[in-house]
């Protein structure tokens, strides 16, 4: 049963993430203002946005993690910006074993906080997952394009105090520099009960025929704001 639940979570979350990384779905970032058994309302920088919840909507808690959980064989998602032909991580997600393979690949992503610069800005980014339209936030003059890469960590090296990850996925690989400024978080599988008013969330949703449906709801744990 546990394996079946894990496979179901990986499939539903992976589909939501994969759609997010390829078909430019709706990504909703903000604070939960209301939640029911079948809908969620998030207050974003552009106002309140509601999305319906389905039986296959996946839920994860986003918790702090660290380099001790990033090693060969780890399955990660790196949101990065490009600088001088190199990918510099803005944030890193460590996936649990049951979500290995979710949204594997590398694609253009979204507007994200540029954690490499002083202060807080939003940057146009990509997400690479190996193994949109954004609601909330606007690009600043300091913004940069970014990507999301999801895949398996093949190698890790350290040079000049900076960790470099080689992330492999079906059909390719990326070398990503992971500076100390990049927050590292982990996904912990959960259910709808983790969604509470006041929590910071990132919702990957699909908008079809004027109806917004949540595929994945990532909930910041104990006041954490999801950095992706």
The pLDDT > 70 percentage for the chain reads 78
The pLDDT, as a whole number, for residue 25 is: 67
Structure tokens at 206: 């699909």
pLDDT tens digits along 66-108: 999 999 999 999 999 999 999 999 999 999 999 999 999 999 9
- pLDDT exceeds cutoff 50 at 23: no
From 29, 53, 57, select the one nearest 43 (Cα to Cα): 29
Q: How confident is the model at residue 127 (pLDDT cuts 50, 70, 90)?
A: low
Residue, of 219 and 209, whose pLDDT is higher? 219
- pLDDT exceeds cutoff 90 at 149: yes
Q: What is the DSSP string of the chain?
A: -HHHHHHHHHHHHHHHHHHHHHS--EEEEEEEEEE-SSEEEEEETTEEEEEE--TT-EEEEEEE--GGG--TT-EEEEEEEEETTEEEEEEEEEPPGGGTTTT-EEEEEEEEE-TTSSS--EEEEEEEE---EEES----TT---EEEEEEEEEEEEEETTEEEEEEEETTEEEEEEE-TTS-EEEEEEE-GGG--TT-EEEEEEEEETTEEEEEEEEEEGGGPPP--
> Burial letters for 151-188: b for 16+ Cβ neighbours within 10 Å, e otherwise?
bbbeeeeeeeeebbbbbbbeeebbebbbeeebbbbbbe
- What is Dmax (Cα atoms) for the chain? 51
The pLDDT, as a whole number, for residue 160 is: 86
Confirm if 111 and 87 have CB atoms less than 8 A apart.
no
- pLDDT exceeds cutoff 80 at 174: yes
What's the pTM value of the predicted model, to 2 decimals? 0.82
Residue, of 7 and 193, whose pLDDT is higher? 193
């Amino acid at each position: 049963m546990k394996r079946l639940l894990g496979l179901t979570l990986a499939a539903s979350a992976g589909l939501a993430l994969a759609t997010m990384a390829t078909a430019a779905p709706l990504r909703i970032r903000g604070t939960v203002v209301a939640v029911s058994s079948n809908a969620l309302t998030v207050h974003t920088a552009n106002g309140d946005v509601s999305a319906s919840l389905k039986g296959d909507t996946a839920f994860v808690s986003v918790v702090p993690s660290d380099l001790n959980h990033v090693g060969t064989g780890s399955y990660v998602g790196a949101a990065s910006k490009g600088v001088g032909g190199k990918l510099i991580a803005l944030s890193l997600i460590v996936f649990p074993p049951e979500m290995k393979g979710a949204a594997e690949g590398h694609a253009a992503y979204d507007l994200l906080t540029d954690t490499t610069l002083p202060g807080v800005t939003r940057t146009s980014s990509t997400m690479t997952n190996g193994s949109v339209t954004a609601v909330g936030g606007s690009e600043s003059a300091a913004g940069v394009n970014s990507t999301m890469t999801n895949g398996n960590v093949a190698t890790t090296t350290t040079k000049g105090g900076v960790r470099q990850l080689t992330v492999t996925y079906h059909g390719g690989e990326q070398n990503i520099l992971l500076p100390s400024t990049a927050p590292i978080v982990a996904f912990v599988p959960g259910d709808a009960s983790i969604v509470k008013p006041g929590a910071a969330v990132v919702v990957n949703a699909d908008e079809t025929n004027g109806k917004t449906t949540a595929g994945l709801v990532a909930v910041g744990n104990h006041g954490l704001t999801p950095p992706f």
